[in-house]
Structure 1
């Protein structure tokens, strides 16, 4: 059997191994399974699709190999259950990865809530729904249902957004945060329920202006991508935009930046345009991306992106002063 590890995971000898249930074993579910197995936990998975067991094992092996994580935990720690109820029956932590349709997630999470031990934390990988929406049909312990949203590609990118509901206890929040930290993730706590959580909203703000600039003919799609990937995107991979802004203020830090550059920044922010994704704009964006990526193999692009991600993540570990 192939084996998997995570460079940032807390050794299982220093923390108790968890029984983790993975519900839904597509690409996101397989990424979660890889991370938990890498950290030395046992994983019980369920997915009703035909052939899901075999596909999951293959995907976990592929993800483990891609992340160069191959020294401690074998796939023998992965079990595929015949039903959702059996998968979660002894779980300490449940990660739900069903289709991004509210009624489907509500039904699945209600079933998980009914079958899982009351002490288990239940997290959903939803990219946009709030926990109060997700737990609407749960009756046993709906407050222990939180959002645990990863970032694509989820087997490589450390970010996880944890979003509790108003009924979630501090203990459940901390257990979710600590569970993710212990498998090498970098969780953030989102203190309000908002559509799209945080990272997707930040992306949406940038996409909005990018779409607007393309729509108005200010710049090409390719030049938008160059402007970010060869400009601020390089810095954002090292430090977040606010910490980076502070460094640009020199000895005066963020105060100097806001005092001296805040007024023109406000002018720029107030000039940002709303857009509507009508057919004309969609065609501009699609044709622009097609032109930018013409004669480039998407499989090669994805592989090179993921290889560079691993190198960037390794560099971030190397320079310990970076937050």
Structure 2
């Protein structure tokens, strides 16, 4: 496989800026395409703030902050070796972006979409070279959260999938291959299942928004940062392991599954959820919260590495 050195990033929003920061830290030449004039300054500031965290994680040893080339012109992608697409999650926009990208890049260049829910097969449906298009979905922020989901479309080639996987691993990402196309892929389906019940509990008045968040962050969330649900319940089975857990407590899980809710995000419910979130934040602004989260993610990842999780 050709060594990938020049990376095109489509979209300079939160995900695009995060990807660009990671790629720069790993020594890539990066071209970011975004039509917004203010996006270039936003990107420079984001990279400056991200760089110390990338250093702390060992993703770069350079004290010199590197910056991406920035343009609104897709022609600047003509020499890239890999494209990370981060446009709005609407199929018509994705297809328009693919058409613009394919007009300028070489036929063998892989296009990975950061889409959180759309199917690769739908994105590639009108492409000139559909075999090089796949989903490469991160969790936000991708420069600090290492997971990347790889999902092939019906026409995606194995070679494209392998190229993307090799590239992400060079970026020190943890890759996951999702074996079947489903809306939301893997990680977002899991988080959506939890969020649905969190909204249901709030809507039913079972607990406040603040206490729901506390229940996760000071309870199962602490375990989930180290172990997935299957390994967690394996330990929950004691000496008998997962089999003992399923035999003994499986029926209680089934009972809870039957009671889970399916709320609708009505205007009234959204107002209630936002009010509860504002109460939880108190005087803390969003930027400060994001900074604290990012600092903690760095320390959490280092802790996971220390203990082999």
Same fold (TM over 0.5): yes
1:52 to 39, 42, 54: 39
Q: Write out the 4+ residue segments of structure 1 that deviate beyond 4 Å after TM superposition.
A: 73-77
Q: Please report the TM-score for the alignment, with normalisation by the length of structure 1.
A: 0.88
1:214 and 1:221 in contact (8 A); partners too? yes
For the residue of structure 2 that corresponds to 1:115, the secondary structure is: coil
Q: Does 1:241 align with 2:221?
A: no
Q: How does 1:32-43 map to 2 (within 5 A)?
A: 32-43=19-30
CA separation of 1:297 and 1:75: change in aligned 2, threshold 3 A? closer
SS across alignment from 1:160: strand
Gap change, CA 1:129 and 1:286, over 3 Å in 2: same
Structure 2: gaps of 5 or more residues: none
Once residues 76 and 204 of structure 1 are traced to their aligned partners in structure 2, the CA distance between those partners, rounded to angstroms, is 36
Separation in structure 2 between the aligned mates of residue 230 and residue 92 of structure 1, nearest angstrom: 43
Q: What is the CA–CA distance in structure 2 between the aligned matches of 1:217 and 1:66, rounded to whole Å? A: 39
- Name the SS of the counterpart of 2:103 in structure 1: helix
* 1:103 corresponds to which of 70, 92, 95: 92
Question: How do 1:257-268 residues align onto structure 2 when only pairs under 5 Å count?
Answer: 257-268=245-256
1:232 corresponds to: 220
The answer to whether the 8 A contact 2:12-2:34 is kept is yes
Q: 1:293 to 1:54 in 2, by over 3 A?
A: closer
8 Å CA contact 2:25, 2:66 repeated in 1? no
Task: Give the unaligned 5+ runs of structure 1.
Answer: 1-14
Task: Determine if the alignment matches structure 1 residue 71 to structure 2 residue 58.
Answer: no
> In 1, distance between residues paired with 2:63 and 2:173?
18
Q: Superposed, which structure 2 residues align to 1:47-196 within 5 Å?
A: 47-68=34-55, 71-72=61-62, 78-81=68-71, 83-87=73-77, 89-139=78-128, 141-196=129-184
2:164 is paired with a residue of what secondary structure? helix
Aligned partners of 1:221 and 1:51: how far apart in 2?
Answer: 35
Displacement of 1:66 after TM fit? 3.6
Across the aligned residues of Structure 1 and Structure 2, the Cα RMSD in angstroms comes to: 2.0
